Each structure stands twice: as C-alpha cells, then as structure tokens.
Amino acid sequence: MSFFKKLKDKISGKPDETTEKYKEGLEKTRTSFTSKVNDLIARYRKVDEDFFEELEDLLLQADVGFETVMDLMDDLRFEVQRKNVKDTEGIQSVISQKLVDIYRGGEEADSSLNIQEDGLTVLLFVGVNGVGKTTTIGKLARRFIEEGKTVMLAAGDTFRAGAIDQLQVWGDRVGAEVIRQAEGSDPAAVMYDAIRAAKNRKADILICDTAGRLQNKVNLMNELQKVHRVISREIPGAPHETLLALDATTGQNALIQAETFKEVTDVTGIVLTKLDGTAKGGIVLAIRNKLGIPVKLVGLGEGMDDLQPFDAERYVYGLFAEGLEQEDAEEGGE
C-alpha cells in the first residue's frame, strides 16, 4: 500500500474540513516546492545522483534546513537502495513518508496541549514582537471558549506600547476576561494577580502573554524565570505549556529565534503562525528535527478558525495534495 493510500485511510477516507484547511494553508509552499518536485520527477526517469542533488536544492529552498536535508537525503538514498527503486515513478510517495518520519524523529510526536482536566491550566506564550503572538492567544482563547471552557488572559507584555490594549481588544472580541496592570508594571506581578483571579473565578484556562525583547537576552531570561517562579509557586507544575510563537514567513530566522528562546526558557511547544503566507513551509521540519520541540499549533489563514492543532500527516497531505488526488483518480479509473 502506498504512503498516499495509507494517508488517505488515516484521514478517514476523505478530506475533512481540517485537512482542507491544511491544503489551502500550504498552497504557497506546495506551488513552489511540490510543483518543482513534480517537474524534477518528470525530467528524470531514473533515480540517480543528479536527481538527488537537484532534489536536495529544492528542499533547501523550501527552508527544510541544511542538517534536516542531509538527514533526509541519507534516508532517501538508503530507502531507494533497500527497495531497489530504479525509476522515479512512486518516488514522491517515498519522499512524503520520509518527511513524516523525520518530523517524528522515530517516535510519535505529541502535538496535543497539556490541558488539566481537573483544575486550572496555565499556558505561557513567549516570542518576539510581530510574530502574531497576541492574535494567536485570542484565537486559541476562542477555540477553548467554544469548547465550553472559561478562559482568562494575563497581559504580561507590559513594556511594549499598546500590547496590553491589543490583548484587551481580543479579550473583548472572544469573551475572555483580561487581567492587566499599568504599562511598565512588573510582569510577574501581573501573573500573580491573574492566577489569583483565575482561581477565584474558577477558570479552566489562563493564557499568559509575555514580552519578547531578544535584544537583551539576559533581562529577558531573568524576567521569564521570575514569571515561572511566581506561576509555579501559586500552582505546582505550572505553567503546563510554554509555547513559542514563530512567524513561518521568516524561515531560517524563526529557527534562530527558537534556538535562542530554548536557551532562556523551557519551551514545550511551537506555535507556527502565518504558514499560509510563505513558500518556505519546510521550516516545520527544520524546527522539529534540529531542536526536538514539537509544533503544537499552526496558523493556516487569517480567519478565527484557521489556528489548527498540528498534524504531521495533514501537513504532508497539504504539501502533496495534488499527488494524492491524482493517485485517487487513477485508482478510481481502474
């Protein structure tokens, strides 16, 4: 059974609404990357070293990352030799399978959020300005509220002009109470107030915004450590997730940000925003393979429902949708 057939079976035999969002959200990457892969396959009837070298260049252009590409090419060469693949027919399916394998790193990566069924869940968001952090917090709050949960927001980005008001606008829009202090206040004090308020109101989820001033890494580290201490003192085991928001359109720069934030705080998951706005969607694989941090949420559009839990199979479907649909059509015609 081909990889595409297995993938089709895994997504319940037909593309659902979420799968379609992945397909639409990855259109730019698919148009840029997959169409070039198809052209490459059409030009090369035989799988040889020239084919591998051109494929390597295409993967690098999609921002899969040098180390990840080298790992992938080694795996592909081994798989082609193991299966005695001589021509390029069916090679796209092998590539797709290897992309999923590389993301998983040999294990099933858990992309689910660590939500506490009993008691308050605290989600801490980190990330530099301009990556869509506040918008993501608002959309995630709406998703939880639609699930029937009581959500509160903590405006901990107290130094950026307008950040508190921006979060307040989202809170008003989705129906989540925002705990805030004056601009320039101590972020840890905001977190303390927010946790006390969330406990008193018996909230289910508290989502905390923070500053992201990477240009002063020592201050940022001290600030985040203080925030962590306050949260964990009030709720043992919290924060239950520390989510790093990254802008997918920045490509390798997003990977550098991830490496830096990993140095200053315990990042448990990545939220990759604006994936629909880039042709370099391969950054998902680079982040996972190089840093070992799972991507937990992806932004696949500007709509309120376009923030989706990350799914490796649907991601690869989004990259190779036309190949899957063409294979389906060929099978249906037999």
Query: Residues comprising the binding site for GTP?
Result: 127-134, 209-213, 273-276
Sign of CA dihedral 92, 95, 96, 97: positive
* Structural Rg of the chain based on CA atoms: 22
Distance (Å, rounded) from C-alpha 32 to C-alpha 84?
29
| Residues that constitute the known binding site | 127-134, 209-213, 273-276
Q: Residue for token digits 């035989």? A: 46
Contact (Cβ atoms closer than 8 angstroms) between residue 203 and residue 151: yes
Q: Calculate ∠ Cα 99-103-109, nearest 5°.
A: 140
CB half-sphere exposure, 81, CA atoms < 13 A = 8
The pair of three-digit structure tokens given for residue 72, joined into one six-digit string: 């992938």
The CA-atom distances, in angstroms, between 54 and each of 47, 86, 190, 200, 210 are 11, 17, 53, 60, 43
What is residue 131's DSSP assignment?
S
Structure tokens at 85: 């693949």
DSSP 261-299: HHHHS---EEEEE-GGG-S-TTHHHHHHHHH-PPEEEEE
Query: What does the DSSP 8-state code read for residue 30?
Result: I
Cα separation, 253 vs 278, whole angstroms: 13
